Structures are given as C-alpha cells and as structure tokens.
C-alpha cells in the first residue's frame, strides 16, 4: 500500500463475525473494542432481504432469490480464507474513514499478508464499487474486469451482479 496514501493502521483485531462478503465485525485483542468494518472499494451481493437488495434487484435485473444465493456463495468463499477468531490488520484511509452508515471502511490484511478486499475481487466474489471513495478503485476495477472476463467465482454463473 502506497506511502502517498496516509492510512490508519490497526493491529491486534480478531474477526468476531462475518456478516456477509463485504462486512465484518471485529474485536480488539486487548481493549475488547468491537466495531463493524466495511471493505473498501468492493460490493458483494446481499445475503438477506433489505433495502440494498431491492436496489440491487432494480440495477441488475436479477431476482432477489438469485442475488441472495450469490451472496451466500460469496460469503462461503470468504469463510474459506478468513475464519472467526483470525487476527487481521485494518488499513483505513485517513481522508475517507467511514461510510454513509458510519461503519469504518477498511482494507483487511490477513495473517498471510494478502488483502481480503483484493482476494474477493480477483476470485470473482465481489465487484469493484464506486459507492464509497477508495484510492485503489482503478486497480479494483481492473481486477473486477479480469475476473469477469475469466469467468471466475460468481462470474462462472452470471455475467454481472
């Protein structure tokens, strides 16, 4: 991650809950502080009926039942690379730390050193999203397009979501 983008770096967080493929609840190992982290630059299908699912239905012209099925597939992929209890590092852009719902935005770095946001994109389980500013958006759009063209992950079943 480039030095030109100033980040808050938070260590000693453990995964408490995997809400869906783009949102986690984490807990600090020492302070016990809990917070929700929304992954930067990506969007994965929803796993339950809510306002966003209805919006996604209108945007994609896919039925909610299919979107929810895709959402569970994406979440299942995530649980293969990240488990409850795993230690992670969170990088948050100083100038862009929270989303509209006051969730902290983050790049989640796994113990392996890999970025969870990028794994989801590269493997076709999330798409690049402009909904919340992300300094890596151009790179993420390219990763998304590559996954789409190679028909990996969710793109093996559908052309868009």
**What residues are annotated to the active site?**
38, 46, 103
Strand partners, 42: 128
Kindly write down the DSSP assignment for every residue of 31-75, as one continuous string: T--EEEEEETTEE---SS-SHHHHHHHHHH---HHHHHHHHHHHH
Distances in whole angstroms, Cα of residue 72 to Cα of each of 2, 20, 48, 78, 131: 33, 8, 9, 10, 21
Name the region of 3 (left: φ>0; alpha: ψ -120 to 50; beta: rest): alpha
């Amino acid at each position: 991650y480039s030095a030109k983008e100033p980040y808050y770096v938070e260590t000693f967080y453990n995964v408490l809950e995997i809400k869906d493929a783009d949102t986690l609840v984490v807990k600090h190992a020492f302070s016990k502080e809990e917070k929700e982290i929304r992954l930067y630059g990506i969007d994965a299908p929803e796993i339950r009926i809510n306002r966003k699912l209805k919006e996604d239905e209108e945007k994609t012209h896919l039925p909610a039942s299919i979107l929810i099925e895709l959402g569970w597939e994406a979440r299942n992929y995530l649980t293969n690379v990240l488990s409850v209890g795993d230690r992670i590092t969170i990088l948050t852009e100083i100038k862009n730390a929270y989303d509209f719902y006051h969730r902290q935005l983050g790049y989640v770095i796994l113990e392996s050193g890999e970025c969870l946001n990028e794994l989801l994109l590269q493997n076709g389980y999330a798409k690049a999203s402009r909904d919340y500013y992300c300094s890596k958006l151009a790179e993420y759009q390219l990763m998304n397009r590559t996954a789409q063209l190679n028909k990996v992950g969710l793109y093996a079943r559908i052309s868009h979501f």
